[in-house]
Amino acid sequence: MEVRQHLFIDFEFTMPDKGKQYKGFYPEIIEVGVVSVINNQIFEEFSSYVTPIQYPKLSKRCKSFLNISQQQVDDGIAFSELVHKLKKMTGEHSYTIVTWGNTDMRVLRSNCEKAGLYFPFSGKEVDLSMEYKRFFGDKNQTGLWKAVQEYGKDGVGSHHRALDDALTTYKIFKLVEKDKQYLQKHEPTTIGDRVDLAKLFNKFA
């Protein structure tokens, strides 16, 4: 049986205070949430805070926006540990990385480059927000929680908690895939079907 693995990933990043200059600043991963799904079943969940390297002290804006404390990131894993863990979660088979937006993978690549570490993934990368946009014909990209609410569902846990957002991404993925399958299987009524149906209605009118 073919093994199909998807990794649903969400990161939270450092951000500067508005109006302040930070020499050499770049967004760094400070929280990670990963949901590993193998053959449509959740196989593993991983969540951790990550200690930033370039600017280890969080800005007030970052702490307030993400509801995160300095102590939490100080006690987090090192970025090198995160890269090792992500690589370990991929296994030996082919896999697909699924994120909401393309920022997560761009920041991960940047952080690996800055730290002198290899990028841990070689699998296919899918930006689910673009898939959602194309599928529903939206002009603008939709936010993660707005997208799940448009389905009449609730997000998982709290927005801007990395694992909760990764689980919410997985939730939307399942909903979109279900809609895609429905459209592929559903054949529109032909003209002949409609005529026959009309005759039937007339017969019993």
What is the arrangement of strands in the sheet containing 41-49, beginning at the earlier edge strand?
A: 41-49, 29-38, 5-13, 95-99, 124-127
Q: What digits encode the pLDDT tens for the residues 167-176?
A: 999 999 998 8
Residue 10 exposed, middle or buried by CB count within 10 Å (0-12, 13-18, 19+): buried
Band (pLDDT 50/70/90 cuts) for residue 152 is confident
Region 51-55: mean pLDDT is: 95
Average pLDDT, the chain: 86
pLDDT of residue 134: 82
Band (pLDDT 50/70/90 cuts) for residue 160 is confident
Band (pLDDT 50/70/90 cuts) for residue 177 is confident
Counted domains in the chain? 1
Region 44-49: mean pLDDT is: 97
> Who contacts 7 (Cβ-Cβ below 8 Å, separation ≥6)?
34, 35, 36, 37, 89, 90, 95, 96, 97, 98, 123
Q: Which candidate in 2, 6, 12, 159 is catalytic?
A: 12
Give me the count of residues in the chain.
205
Are the beta carbons of 91 and 5 closer than 8 angstroms? Answer: yes
**Parent domain of 87:** 5-203
Q: Which candidate in 84, 125, 131, 160 is catalytic?
A: 160
Percentage of the chain modeled with pLDDT above 90: 63
Q: Which residues pair with 8 in a beta bridge?
A: 35, 98
Indicate if 12 belongs to the active site.
yes
Band (pLDDT 50/70/90 cuts) for residue 139 is low
**Residue 26's CATH number:** 3.30.420.10
Hey, what are 171's tokens?
Answer: 């939730």
Poorest-confidence range of 45-49, 136-140, 157-161? Answer: 136-140
Indicate if 93 belongs to the active site.
no
